[in-house]
Amino acid sequence: MFSKIFISLAVLAASVAAVVPSVSKRTTCSGGQTTANAACCVWFDVLDDIQENLFHGGQCGEDAHESLRLTFHDAIAFSPALTAAGQFGCWYALHIDMPIVSMLHVTADGSIMAHTSEELADPANNGLDDIIEFQRPFALKHNVSFGDFIQFAGAVGVSNCNGGPQISFFAGRSNDSQPAPHGLVPLPSDDVTTILNRVGDAGFSTVELVWLLISHTVGAQDKVDDSIPGTPFDSTPSDFDAQFFVETLLNGTITPGNGIRPGEALSPYPGEFRLQSDFLIARDNRTSCEWQKMISNRANMLARFEGVMQKLSLLGFNQSALTDCSDVIPTATGTVADPFIPAGLSTDDIQAACSSTPFPTVSVLGGAVTTIPAV
C-alpha cells in the first residue's frame, strides 16, 4: 500500500515539474553582477559611471531632476494624429528647411539629443541644453543609443531620491531618428484643455496626465524665471513623496522672483515655485479628484508613476522587440514623511477642489515659516 502511495506521489511530482517552467538562468557579467539577459551587462558599466560622474555619487540633485525631465521631453513628442494626417513631411519642409522625409513616429528615440539645435528651438524645451550636453558623452563613451541612455539615466536618477520609484528600463533603441516637430511638448502656460488634448493625442488619459506629473515631486524650475534657477516645486525636492500634491493646493500669495512670468502662478511658500499648469490641473474638475488621491495613498502614487513611466518610455515601440534590463536599475532607499502642511500655514490655506471626496487628513507642522533652499 505504502509503495503504491510513494509511486503515485512520484508520478504526481513529475507531472507538476512538467507543467511548472524552470527558473530562467541568469547571466553573470564581467563585473560579477547578474542579469536576466547578457545584452544588459553593458548597462552595469553605464550605471557605475553615471552614478559617480553624472549624479555625483548617487545624489538626488539637479542632474537627477533634469534627467527625469528629459525622459518626458524626448518621449512626448509623439503624435499619431499628426502622422495620420500626413503632416510630418510638410512640417519638416516648412520649418526646418529639410526635404520631405518618410513618415516616422517621433518617440522616446533620443531625437532631442541627436538633433539638439532643432528641438531646443521649441520654447517648451528651454533649459534642457545643460543636461543634454552633460549626458551625451556618456552615451558615446559606452556606445549605447541616445534614446536608451536618456530613459536609463532618468530611471537611475530618480532611484537616487528618498523613497523613489522602481522604473522599468527596456534597451534596444537605435540612433535612427528625426527632429520632433515643435508644439508637441506642453508649455506651463498652456490651459488644461490644451494639455489634455496634447497628451491624449500621444495616448495618455486624463488620470495618466496626473500620474505623469508625479515627477514634479522631485522637480524644480530653471528657465520659467531664470533669475531664481533651481527653485523647487515643493518643500521636499529630494523626497519622492506626495508633498507636491499638497502644496500645489495651498493658497498662493508669494512671488518668489521678480514678478510673475508667463507659465508661473503665485507660490504658497518662500523659495517654492508654482507652475501655472500645475496650479490649474490641481483645481480642474477633470483632474482634481485624481490629484487628491495622490495625497491619501503613496503606495498607489508610486505604482501609478512606475506604470505611466513605462508606457511613456515605450511610446512608438514594440516592447517585445526591446530587451528588458530593468534589473540593472537600483532599488531606491530612504524613507519619506507622510504628507503635511508646512510650518506657518494651516488647513485653512488648502484650496480643495475635488467635490466628491473630502480632502484627506494631513498633519500641520509647527513653527514659523522658513525659506526652502534652491536645488
Residues annotated as catalytic are 73
- Residue 201 known to bind ligand: no
The one-character DSSP state at 87 is -
CB count, 10 Å around CB of 38?
A: 12
Enumerate the β-bridge partners of residue 2.
none
Strand-pairing partners, residue 170, are 324
Task: State yes or no: 216 annotated in a binding site.
Answer: yes
d(CA 132, CA 123) in angstroms, rounded, equals 16
Grid coordinates belonging to 129: 541644453
What whole-number distance in Å separates Cα of residue 348 and Cα of residue 78? 41
Q: Report whether 74 belongs to an annotated binding site.
A: yes
SS3 content of the chain, % helix, strand, coil (to 5): 45, 5, 50
The answer to whether 361 is a known ligand-binding residue is no
Alpha helices in the chain (DSSP H): 2-19, 41-53, 62-75, 80-84, 88-95, 111-114, 116-119, 129-142, 146-159, 192-201, 206-212, 243-247, 276-283, 288-296, 298-313
DSSP line for 286-304: TTHHHHHHHHH-HHHHHHH
**What's the 3-state SS for 38-69?**
HHHHHHHHHHHHHHHHCCCCCCCCHHHHHHHH
Pseudo-torsion of CA 73, 77, 78, 82, nearest 10°? 170
Q: 236: which DSSP letter?
A: -
Please tell me whether 278 is known to bind a ligand: no
* Nearest-angstrom CA–CA distance, 317 and 217: 28
Q: In angstroms, what CA-CA distances link 159 with 148, 166, 331?
A: 17, 7, 6
Is 277 labeled as ligand-binding?
no
Binding-site entries for Ca(2+): 74, 109, 111, 217, 234, 236, 241
Binding-site entries: 74, 109, 111, 216-217, 234, 236, 241
Binding-site entries for heme b: 216
